[in-house]
Structure formats: structure tokens, C-alpha cells
Amino acid sequence: MPTMLRTLLLFTAAFGFCFEVKAQQNKDARERASLPESLLSVHGEVVAQNYCHNYDDMFSVFMDLKLRFTNVSDHAVILSKKIESPNVIRAAHDAEAGKRGEFLYHPDFHFAVAELPKSPAFKNAPDSKLFVILNAGESFESLVHTGVLAARDDATSLRVNGLLSNGRYVLQVGVWTWPYQWPYFDADTDSQELKQRWTKYGELSTGLVYSDFVPFVIPEHFENPRCK
């Protein structure tokens, strides 16, 4: 029996955290594919994609994902320029399946962190090096790294629930717009207090936002070196 069938698959992602992939089929059918925070919409685009493997029957798909955050409210929004890699990653056959919560891929994340950097000190106004103020309709773009796990063949994908196989899919990611918190920073500042402090400049975005459904393809043939 292959190792991945005897144990939970522990995958160390190149973008800095560990997660376990468990049985995922329709795991969160009740979870709505909508924005918990109504200030922003997020449009995603895969701009680069590459592969590597640690096992003969499975491989990792790494993506560079460009995210465009647009202020859909009727007032100014303060957005962190630092956007961490998504901590929600899920894939479906198509956008309609995603809207119904029928995700083929939706792993649970378990963070393993060492010493965290201290968050910066925040003053009485947003620092333009760290934040952007978006007026209604304005956008800000950021590049993040994400990925999925896939099987070399359909038979492995069926045996190991939660692995994708070659084909066309849509990806949806969820990102926190406030990065200065665990597990990214050792934070001393309460984001809600900052919201009050900066209210004359706009509304500070601190919530989890989901992207739209981003098309991507896992090809049948590709370069697939061993992961380093």
C-alpha cells in the first residue's frame, strides 16, 4: 500500500507553512463562496505555474496568482499593501459547482511557526509604505503564491480523496486583508482600535475576502522534477 494511503499526507509548501490534506470531497458544502467582508472584491489571475514531485504517483502544482482588490463600497478603504499567501485554497470543476460549495480540493491548514517577527508600530495615520487608501472603484494589485496537490492518474485521484488529476478547474482563494496578526506577526496592536484611530482616512479592511473563480489547467504532460 502506498505511503500516502497509510498516513495523512503532510506537504510542506514552498510558501512557508505546513498543512495536512484530509478527505475533502464536499467538505464545506455549506460554506458560501461569497465575500465575508463587503468592502472589497478580489479578481484573481494565474500568471505562472510549475510542478514538482516527492512521490511517483502525486505532484505539487505551484502557482503565482495576481490578485486585484477593488473597493466596491461607497467610501474610502484602507488596505494593507502586504498580502500573505492564501490560507484558504479550494478548487472546483467550474464556477457553478464552486458556488454550490462542491469543491474537489479544500485542505485543512495547520500552521507550524517558529519565532514571529514583530509587527510595525502604527501611528495616527496610515503609513503610505504599508497601506494604500482606495477611493470607491479604485484597485490595488498584489502577487501571492499558492498551489494544489494532484495525482499522476485518475485512479490515484479516486483512491486518495482530495487530489486533483489533469484537467480544467477553477481556483478560489481566501486571504486576510490584515496580515499583522498570528501566524504571520507577533502583533501588539488591535486592528479594531486602529479602525477607530484611522476612521477619518477611510475604513480599515481587516477581514477575510474570497477571490472570484480563477480558471487553471493541470496538463497531461509537463516538466515535473523532484521537489527540492
pLDDT in tens, 171-214: 999 999 999 987 788 877 789 999 999 999 999 999 999 999 99
Above 50 in pLDDT, residue 25?
no
- The yes-or-no verdict on residue 223 having pLDDT over 70 is yes
The model's pTM is 0.81
Distances (CA, A) of 127 to 22, 80, 97, 119, 138: 41, 10, 41, 13, 18
Q: Using 50, 70 and 90 to split pLDDT, how confident is the model at 140?
A: very high
- pLDDT the model gives residue 30: 31
Average pLDDT over residues 119-147: 96
The b-or-e profile of 58-93 (16+ CB within 10 A means b, else e) is bbbbbbebebbbbbebeebbbbbeebbbbbbbbbbe
The yes-or-no verdict on residue 132 having pLDDT over 90 is yes
pLDDT digits over 66-103, tens only? 999 999 999 999 999 999 999 899 999 999 999 999 99
> Which amino acid is it at 89?
I
The answer to whether 49 touches 61, Cβ cutoff 8 Å, is: yes
